[in-house]
């Protein structure tokens, strides 16, 4: 669409504080500015083992700020864990929330904030149900992975394990007030987490750039994130001590978060959500595996934009037409995944998928209301089944649809 025919709004409500040791230098100061004294720290058991939340608790204590630690957050946080966290928040009379971790910690923290200031269950507020009306408690975010972007978005994803579904809770009030993007806190990340979460950030940027709701503002953010990730993620993966590469990827993740917070994400996320909800595939890994196959489906929708991405990965394509350059993108993305040892499909799960299982996944993907409408190409259920057939090992004899 021509710019003269567009109308849009762009607001990034989160104050981003970037820098090595920025948490140590700025966190207590910022908390005191908000005059908060009893902080609910939301984190996960792995980070507790790595010692990061403990260091933050000590930092706050040295500055006269009391905190309690809630560390029961699992990957793809459960709705019931959210309810348990809200009880702990209220029971301890906390007055603000600090999310420390990856996307799960931030999704959980936002959802706890909703329950604390609203009646009922968190799933009452999923997209399409009740609206989130009230402000949530002051929320600060400290991302410790290089992929989520959730530190600058107004969306929380919560899993209903009984239904085997991921649900989105979204409202402008969910955006953290301040995000501390400190590369030092990503130093202990295992290599496979760097690869998967870095690819998650790349998917955020690519889907925001090609979204039907993209604008010149989201395009600028998304392209910058794509360039930084393409340039620095392989080095960050190969050399954990390369602080410059890690800093570039960590900031790129936040920039990609700004892009998709404004422009949305599409079919990659629609397909990855049920893979995480039903088969517990880590979100970033599911996104990375699905990316080339969904892009192959979407290419026809916008030669120019897909060509622009392809030219970042292979500058020699500058001499090709947009159609030819765009067609190269699929192989370029597969090669990039391969350089990070990302599996080419879901065979590593060690299970065979029946028609019924694939139909269930496709149904849930089509029901993903926050992603399907953003996709650059209109999506039908048969398209989603075709994509899943390319990435899931098939059970040719039928078998059990467990």
User: How do residues 187-240 score in pLDDT, each as one tens digit?
Assistant: 888 999 999 999 999 999 999 999 999 999 999 999 999 999 999 999 999 998
| pLDDT computed for residue 1 by the predictor | 64
**What pLDDT does 90 receive?**
97
- Classify burial at 185, counting beta carbons within 10 Å of its beta carbon; exposed 0-12, middle 13-18, buried 19 or more: buried
pLDDT, one tens digit per residue, over 262-314 is: 999 999 999 999 999 999 999 999 999 999 999 999 999 999 999 999 999 99
Task: Give residue 7's pLDDT.
Answer: 84
Per the prediction, the chain carries an average pLDDT of: 94
pLDDT at 2: 75
Q: Which of 101, 124, 282, 87 is nearest to 176 (CA)?
A: 101
Closest CA to 284 of 378, 200, 162: 200
Q: What's the confidence (pLDDT) of residue 162?
A: 84
In the chain, what percentage of residues exceed pLDDT 90?
A: 89
Q: To which residue do tokens 């409500």 refer?
A: 13
Kindly state the tokens that stand for 246.
Answer: 């890690």
Which of 109-113, 216-220, 366-370 is predicted with the least confidence, judged by mean pLDDT?
Answer: 366-370
Q: Which helix (H) or strand (E) holds 40?
A: strand 38-42
* Burial of residue 26, with CB atoms counted within 10 A of its CB: 0-12 exposed, 13-18 middle, 19 or more buried: middle
3 state SS of 341: coil
To the question of domain 191-391 being in CATH 1.20.1090.10, the answer is: yes
> 191-391: same fold as 15-186?
no
Q: What is the pLDDT of residue 397?
A: 58
pLDDT of 47-92, one tens digit each?
999 999 999 999 999 999 999 999 999 988 999 999 999 999 999 9
The per-residue pLDDT for range 143-199, each reduced to its tens digit, is 999 888 999 999 999 999 888 898 999 999 999 999 999 999 998 889 999 999 999
Position 369 scores a pLDDT of 87
For residue 335, give every residue at least 6 positions away whose Cβ sits within 8 Å of its Cβ, in sequence order, or none: none
State the Cα angle at 165 between 160 and 170, rounded to 5°.
Answer: 80
pTM of the model: 0.93
d(CA 216, CA 331): 27
Identify the pLDDT of residue 37. 87
- Position 398 pLDDT exceeds 60: no
Q: Does position 5 have pLDDT exceeding 90, yes or no?
A: no
CATH class in words for 15-186: alpha beta
Domain ranges of the chain: 15-186, 191-391
């Amino acid at each position: 669409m021509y710019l003269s025919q567009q109308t849009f709004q762009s607001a990034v409500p989160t104050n981003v504080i970037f820098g090595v040791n920025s948490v140590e230098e700025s966190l207590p100061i910022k908390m005191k500015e908000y005059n908060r004294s009893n902080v609910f720290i939301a984190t996960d058991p792995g980070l507790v083992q790595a010692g990061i939340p403990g260091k933050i608790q000590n930092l706050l204590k040295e500055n006269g700020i009391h905190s309690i630690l809630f560390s029961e957050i699992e990957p793809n946080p459960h709705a019931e864990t959210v309810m348990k966290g809200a009880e702990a928040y209220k029971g301890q009379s906390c007055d603000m929330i600090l999310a420390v971790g990856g996307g799960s910690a931030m999704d959980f923290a936002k959802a706890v904030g909703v329950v604390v200031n609203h009646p009922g269950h968190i799933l009452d507020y999923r997209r399409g149900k009740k609206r989130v009306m009230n402000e949530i408690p002051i929320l600060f975010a400290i991302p410790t992975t290089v992929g989520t972007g959730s530190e600058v978005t107004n969306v929380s994803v919560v899993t209903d394990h009984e239904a085997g579904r991921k649900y989105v809770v979204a409202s402008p009030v969910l955006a953290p007030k301040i995000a501390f993007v400190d590369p030092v806190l990503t130093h202990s990340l295992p290599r496979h987490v760097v690869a998967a979460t870095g690819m998650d950030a790349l998917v955020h940027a690519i889907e925001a750039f090609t979204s039907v709701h993209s604008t010149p503002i989201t395009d600028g953010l998304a392209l910058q994130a794509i360039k930084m990730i393409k340039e620095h993620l392989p080095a960050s993966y190969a050399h954990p001590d390369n602080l410059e590469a890690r800093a570039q990827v960590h900031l790129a993740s936040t920039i990609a978060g700004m892009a998709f917070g404004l422009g949305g994400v599409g079919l990659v996320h629609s397909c990855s959500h049920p893979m995480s909800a039903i088969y517990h595939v880590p979100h970033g890994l599911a996104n990375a595996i699905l990316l080339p196959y969904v892009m192959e489906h979407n290419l026809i929708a916008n030669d120019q934009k897909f060509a622009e991405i392809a030219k970042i990965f292979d500058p020699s394509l500058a001499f090709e037409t947009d159609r030819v350059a765009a067609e190269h993108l699929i192989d370029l993305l597969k090669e990039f995944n391969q350089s990070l040892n990302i599996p080419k499909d879901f065979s590593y799960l060690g299970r065979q998928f029946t028609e019924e299982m694939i139909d269930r996944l496709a149904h849930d993907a089509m029901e993903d209301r926050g992603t399907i409408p953003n996709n650059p190409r209109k999506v039908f259920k048969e398209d989603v089944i075709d994509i899943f057939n390319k990435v899931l090992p098939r059970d040719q004899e039928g078998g059990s649809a467990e």
